[in-house]
Structure 1
């Protein structure tokens, strides 16, 4: 397992992550990319705890996602299954589990202040933290996608599911975009990745 982890997370985090996996009896599955999520946690009918994480994530995002999912398992065991999946108990657990990793031996210096800020009040997904998401993206392999904030006003873009939108104005934090086929208005986070239709 440690050799497998070395391919996916920063080397200095392998031993403590392996200990977390062992201590919580986690069956880790590394799966092909799912567009709608980076990872998930499920308690199987057998009682085993299964965590899946997308194989295509960069090492830093993979580590954050894996600890995020372990935090679900730990929070449910500690506080019971009636807690909200991303409620106060999970946030506290995620903060505690992540704290030992937020250091320069694990993450690059430019990510540390963004991580420290994010983990004051972690969200359901690091993708909803636009600054952290954009900073993490620089460690991804290059792709042909653009962020919503890079799409010019009035230009068209396509989502992963083929739907086409026209970028509208920026509201407080998000962008108003018109779905071309239906005429319905949607709000997009600035760091949503889309295909710019030139």
Structure 2
């Protein structure tokens, strides 16, 4: 398991992650990319714990996602199955499990202040923290995608499922975009990756 983890997370995080996996009896499954989520935790009827994480994540996002999912398991075991999935108990557990990793031997120094800020009150997904998400994306392999916040108003773009939209306005923190075929309005996070189409 340690050799497998070494391919996906920073080297100095491997021993602690391996211990967490062993101590919590986790069956870790590394899967092909799912667009809607980075990871997932399930407790099977026979009592075994399965965590899946997308293989395509960079090593820093993979580590955060793995600890996020282990925090679900630990919080449910400690506080019971009736807690909110991303409620206070999960937040406290996630913070406690993540603190040992937020150090310069594990994360690049430019990420540390952003992680420290994020983990004061962790969100259900690191993607909803646009600053942290953008900082993490710089460690992804290069691709031809743009972020919504980068493209001009009036631009037409395609998303992962092939639907085409036009960027029209900023509403508080998210961008209002019109689906070209239906005229319906959708809201996008600033750091959603899209394919810009020629106008």
Instruction: Decide: shared fold, TM above 0.5.
Output: yes
Q: Which residue of 2 aligns with 1:180?
A: 180
Q: Which residue of 1 aligns with 2:27?
A: 27
Q: Which residue of 2 aligns with 1:162?
A: 162
In structure 1, how many angstroms separate the alpha carbons of the residues matched to 2:136 and 2:161? Answer: 24
Q: Normalising by structure 1, report the TM-score.
A: 0.99
Q: Which residue of 2 aligns with 1:193?
A: 193
Q: Which residue of 2 aligns with 1:15?
A: 15
Q: Normalising by structure 2, report the TM-score.
A: 0.98
- What per-residue deviation string (whole Å, max 9, x for no partner) do you get for residues 80-102 of structure 1? 00000000100000000000000
Number of corresponding residues: 198
In structure 2, how many angstroms separate the alpha carbons of the residues matched to 1:103 and 1:123? Answer: 20
Q: Which residue of 1 aligns with 2:69?
A: 69
Q: Which residue of 1 aligns with 2:96?
A: 96
- The runs of 5 or more residues in structure 1 that have no matched partner are none
Please identify runs of 4+ aligned residues in structure 1 that moved more than 2 A: none
CA shift at 1:171, angstroms? 2.1
In structure 1, how many angstroms separate the alpha carbons of the residues matched to 2:38 and 2:97? Answer: 18
What aligned pairs does 1:71-150 form with structure 2 within 5 A after superposition? 71-150=71-150
CA shift at 1:112, angstroms? 0.3
- The runs of 5 or more residues in structure 2 that have no matched partner are none
In structure 2, how many angstroms separate the alpha carbons of the residues matched to 1:33 and 1:186? Answer: 24
CA shift at 1:145, angstroms? 1.0
